[in-house]
Amino acid sequence: MSPRLWPTLVLSSLAVSFGIIPIIVREVELSSEQLVAMRIWLSTFFFFGLMLLRGQRRLPATSRGRILITGLLLPVHWFTFFRAIETTRVLVALVLVFVAAPAMTIAATKVLGEKLLLVTGLAVLGGFIGAAVAVDPSNGATTEGVLWALLSGALLAVLLLTVKPGVADLGALQFGAWQALVAALVTVPWAVAAIPNVDGDLPLVLLLGVGLTGLSGLIFLTAMHRIPVSQLGSIMYLEPMAAVVAAAVILNEDPGLRGWIGVALVILFGLVVAWSNERAARTTAEVAAGL
């Protein structure tokens, strides 16, 4: 399999699976703070369990600043994300959070030195337009939910731009583990408060913390630094699509015609981004081979 293709397929599958997260947030009785803390602590145990099995115990010598920044921002991003889901429709929350894609795509040209083709940039902008179409203020959007979602999206852009070079430096497991530890220390009070309240929600909390954060997070980190940020951003838009379907089936949230059109535009322009990046990579490889 092409080294450019497998990360795309893996990340696309993960994005679809992440669509179930808003359903868990709606179904669990824990507060946003408590659910964030439980998610972080369970994933931290998962990461460090693997670290111990591999005999990796030393503090990393590099990327410590990135670990600290992302460890502090991660719980804030997840808290604002959960609050957005709780205070507005799932479609509105998810789509607005992932308007981070065009922001981080443009920023990556300066922060990470990634090239941005005109076709790719226009396609990412098209995805943003699709997101805007999907958000229908007359169909359940709230001001509070929109603000939470936009804040979460801004934090997500900063996180991914910081995580990408950190993972390339230290590897997915080591960076993910130490980042999770910083986040866990920040959320100690919420974790302590959450433990007595888990009760019947334990299976869903375990699914979120171990499956959809620990294991899935490790796979995500392994694949995400291998593709351009523009392509990563377009893949992330698969999560709102999956969440819309899940919300329609489980929560009876009908996105309406406008919502489905917006999601379709997001997916269409995401495919254009993937095609554009793949064509550019193939051309570069052919030129290099000719030299």
Torsion of CA 208, 182, 160, 209, to 10 degrees: -10
pLDDT band at residue 135 under the 50/70/90 scheme: low
Tokens 């805007």 locate to 132
Least confident of 115-119, 135-139, 170-174: 135-139
b/e per residue 125-142 (b: at least 16 CB within 10 A): ebbbebbebbbbeebbbe
**Which pLDDT does position 239 carry in this prediction?**
77
**Token digits of residue 19:** 């669509």
| Percent of the residues in the chain that have a pLDDT greater than 70, as a whole number | 90
CA distance 166 to 158: 13
**Which pLDDT does position 102 carry in this prediction?**
74
pTM value? 0.83
**Token digits of residue 69:** 């920044």
